[in-house]
Copies of this chain bind each other. A is one copy, B any other.
Amino acid sequence: MFEVQHRDKQTRARAGLIRTAHGDIPTPVFMPVGTSGSVKGILHRDLIEDINAKIILGNTYHLYLRPGTEVMRASGGLHKFMSWDRSILTDSGGYQVFSLSSNRKLNDEGAVFRSHIDGTKHVFTPENTIDIQRVLGSDIMMVFDECAPFPCDYRYAKKSVALTHHWLDRAVKRFRETEPVWGTQQFLFPIVQGGIFDDLRKLSAEKAAGAGMAGNAIGGLSVGEPADEMYRIVEIVNEILPEDRPRYLMGVGSPVNILESIERGVDMFDCVMPTRNGRNGMLFTSGGIINIKNRKWTDDFTPIDADGPSVVSRKYSKAYLRHLVLSGEILGAQISSIHNLAFYLSLMEKAREKIREGNFGKWKASVIKKLSLRL
């Protein structure tokens, strides 16, 4: 499934290729988030032509609740349902059960929760979240885990990790006992948890590595802890996760977070930041971060990002985008989201190029200063 093609000489960064039934994905890769079967505000052709996304995310929690597994089954799976023939990774819903639903109760068996949409009661288990993802037909499935809150004391974190590991065993068992519903190969990634506790993270990384799955994920980070804590945990975990499998840092993050994590051996990322913050007028550019609502852009008729990778970044002016965002025009959200995602994905492409050239570390050091500048 995965092949490391280049290794940076000075850092742990690597460039590789993930192969799924729906195409090849060069890594490092950023995966646009398409929670409910749609990357918010972006038509598929723009995802393909302007952003060049090779893989997007879907979410088990959302799609299970709406439109529901039966519609998903009748449609022939998520790819067909949403007319997307490139790769899809689906999150297990673990994170959403804890962040969105109400009245959730955990037990050894799984999680009982109420829908954030209509209050109906549901149960997620390690087994049924595999079954649902089989119906979704995602290329990469995630195990059901508990994403512990931050801050969280050691005792809670330890218990939570134990539960996540118990669930991992059951998920892997179900995965091995079942076949893809739609005939295309599906992979399953375990998720390393353990908060910011080094020993729990090591334990969890060993547990994940021991499952022998095609790839591994690191969850429970970027939930409020300082960035340095996150980087430290990533380093510890990546010492243990196998070199020859892709490593996916879930829900991360800013362009700087991502480059720092690539340097520490991470291959895959996802985050709502480029779309969610984009809808609110925050733009990531090669020169730094723009808050387009700022008065200073009122009569700045230069392009959003003259060197930007997307057509929309070069076509539309800052003043126009500011006007759209302030006026609450949908088009403002569309342009910002396309721009930000195209920026994220082109940054991955550049990172990959620098890894190939063997000077990732130097390049990273030079760009992160600019990337976090507030313009």
Q: Which residues of A contact B (CB under 8 A)?
A: 36-46, 66-67, 70-71, 74-76, 80-83, 298-299, 301, 311-312, 315-317, 319-320, 322-324, 326-327, 329-335
Once bound together, how far apart are the Cα atoms of A40 and B315, in whole Å? Answer: 18
A299 / chain B contacts, CB cutoff of 8 Å: 70-71, 74-75
A316 / chain B contacts, CB cutoff of 8 Å: 83
What would 17 A/B residue contacts be, using CB atoms closer than 8 Å?
A36-B324, A37-B320, A38-B329, A38-B330, A38-B332, A40-B329, A40-B331, A41-B334, A45-B311, A67-B319, A67-B322, A74-B299, A74-B301, A76-B301, A80-B301, A81-B317, A334-B334
B41 in contact with A327 (CB, 8 Å): no
The smallest beta-carbon distance between A363 and chain B, in angstroms, is 32
Q: Given A44-B315, A330-B334, are A38 and B324 neighbors across the interface (CB < 8 Å)?
A: yes
Q: Given A75-B299, A299-B71, A299-B74, are A43 and B320 neighbors across the interface (CB < 8 Å)?
A: no
A83 in contact with B323 (CB, 8 Å): no
Query: Which 4 pairs from chain A and chain B are nearest by CB?
Result: A38-B331, A41-B330, A67-B323, A38-B329
Question: Contact check: which of B66, B317, B333 meets A330 at CB < 8 Å?
Answer: B333
Question: Contact check: which of B36, B82, B319 meets A71 at CB < 8 Å?
Answer: B319
Q: Given A43-B334, A315-B44, are A327 and B71 neighbors across the interface (CB < 8 Å)?
A: no
The smallest beta-carbon distance between A93 and chain B, in angstroms, is 16
A301 / chain B contacts, CB cutoff of 8 Å: 74-76, 80-81
A67 in contact with B298 (CB, 8 Å): yes
B319 in contact with A81 (CB, 8 Å): yes
A335 / chain B contacts, CB cutoff of 8 Å: 43
A82 / chain B contacts, CB cutoff of 8 Å: 320
A315 / chain B contacts, CB cutoff of 8 Å: 44, 83
